[in-house]
């Protein structure tokens, strides 16, 4: 059972491993959208959006339902929104740590006497 969970996690994160797929998910966090709406919001080509939606669909991250001639996409699980929020928090923490490190380096450099020949 543990191996199945680990494999599910690996497959799930592989499905997220593309910037356009992340952008699509962020758009879908705001609500269900058609391909045209997603394409318009992202300013991306339809074929690229469709290809990435296919990957997300195949990994059961998004679902599509027919509405007339359109397909409306939505997240399969609302927790995906939380996951993306946590990922942003982790990024922010790394950014804060990097800024803090740079400030310490800058302060240390300013405190050290300069070497003159």
Structure tokens at 35: 């391909």
CA 82 to the chain's CA centroid: 11
Together in a domain, 65 and 84: no
Is the pTM here over 0.85, yes or no? no
Are 67 and 82 within one domain?
Answer: no
State pLDDT tens for residues 54-90.
999 999 999 999 999 999 999 999 999 999 999 999 9
Q: Are 41 and 4 members of one domain?
A: yes
The reply to whether 20 and 2 lie within a common domain is yes
Q: What is the secondary structure of 26-47 as a DSSP string? A: HHHHT--EEHHHHHHHHT--HH
Q: Which domain holds residue 42?
A: 1-77
Q: What whole-number distance in Å separates Cα of residue 17 and Cα of residue 99?
A: 26
Domain count, the chain: 2
Distance CA 80, CA 82 (A): 5
Say whether both 29 and 71 belong to one domain.
Answer: yes
* pLDDT digit string, tens, across residues 33-60: 999 999 999 998 879 999 999 999 999 9
């Amino acid at each position: 059972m543990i191996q199945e969970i680990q494999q599910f996690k690996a497959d799930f994160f592989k499905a997220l491993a593309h910037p356009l797929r992340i952008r699509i998910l962020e758009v879908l966090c705001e609500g269900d959208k058609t391909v045209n709406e997603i394409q318009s919001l992202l300013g991306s080509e339809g074929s690229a959006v469709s290809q990435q939606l296919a990957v997300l669909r195949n990994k059961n991250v998004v679902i599509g339902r027919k509405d007339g001639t359109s397909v409306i996409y939505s997240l399969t699980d609302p927790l995906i929104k939380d996951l993306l929020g946590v990922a942003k928090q982790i990024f922010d923490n790394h950014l804060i740590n990097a800024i803090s490190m740079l400030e310490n380096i800058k302060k240390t450099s300013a405190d050290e006497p300069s070497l003159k020949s």
